Amino acid sequence: MLVDYFKDYDLDTKNIDKYERYKKLILDYNQHTNLTRITEDDEFNVKHFLDCLSLLKTGKFNGCEKIIDIGTGAGFPGIPLKLYNERLDVTLLDSLRKRIDFLDGVIEDLGLENIRAIHARAEEIARTDEYREQFDLAVSRAVANLSTLTEYAMGFVKVGGYFISQKGPEYKEEIKNAKRAIEVMGGEVEDVIHTPLPNDIDHYIIMIKKVKATDKKFPRGGGKPRKAPL
């Protein structure tokens, strides 16, 4: 049960009912619109909720931080983090309208405030004044290499803020391959945190601190961050 996992990992259980409700909303919607391939209860609890909440180990989600979740999909990790700390200001970003419609429904159903779902492409709105370097933290569980994710994310982050990425055991190779992208986008790797999960799942959190403003020509448009990583 989810509550047992929360207790095992010393997580506050005050909003456990909302996590369970959120899970039900996902699985119901998933019957007609693909949100996740993970539908078995125990696997869902570990790979979605515990994995998202492992980000708390960074110590960066404890106050009223302004966060953007890029390529959020079903709302991961933004909504689990918001449920854990309701003071967070969260923007959920996704390029698919059906996902945004779902997220709007979740936000209303769970009665969440200071959270919104935006239908847009990261490489487009990261260049606008409304979103450019406006966030303390950028997070993403989108399936892409670290170089691509760094280019998508860093334009949103304030100088002094962080892009926080979750990766598997190959994280050292990912960091090596993303070295140029991290530098070009104004960042540096500050820390890597090992976050083992049940069932021998080995994950690592890469903390990239923004140390200087991002050049205005980034991120590149036309899908270039994915097609031709820096």
Per the structure, the count of domains in the chain is 1
- Is 122 annotated to bind a ligand? Reply is yes
Q: Are 18 and 82 in contact (CB under 8 A)?
A: no
Whole-model pTM: value is 0.96
What is the residue range of 152's domain? 2-227
Q: Tell me: is residue 49 an annotated ligand-binding position.
A: no
Our measurement of the distance from residue 8's CA atom to the centroid of its chain's CA atoms, rounded to an integer in Å, reads: 23
Residue 71 marked as a ligand binder: yes
Residue type, 64: C
- Known binding residue 130? Answer is no
* CATH number assigned to the domain comprising residue 140: 3.40.50.150
The 10s digit of each residue's pLDDT in 181-201 is: 999 999 999 999 999 999 888
- CA gap 144, 122 in Å, rounded: 13
What are phi and psi for residue 180, nearest 5 degrees?
Answer: -65, -45
Say whether 138 sits in a helix, a strand or coil.
strand
pLDDT digits (tens, 9 = 90+) for 6-54: 999 999 999 999 999 999 999 999 999 999 999 999 999 999 999 999 9
Asked whether residue 138 is marked as a ligand-binding residue, the answer is no
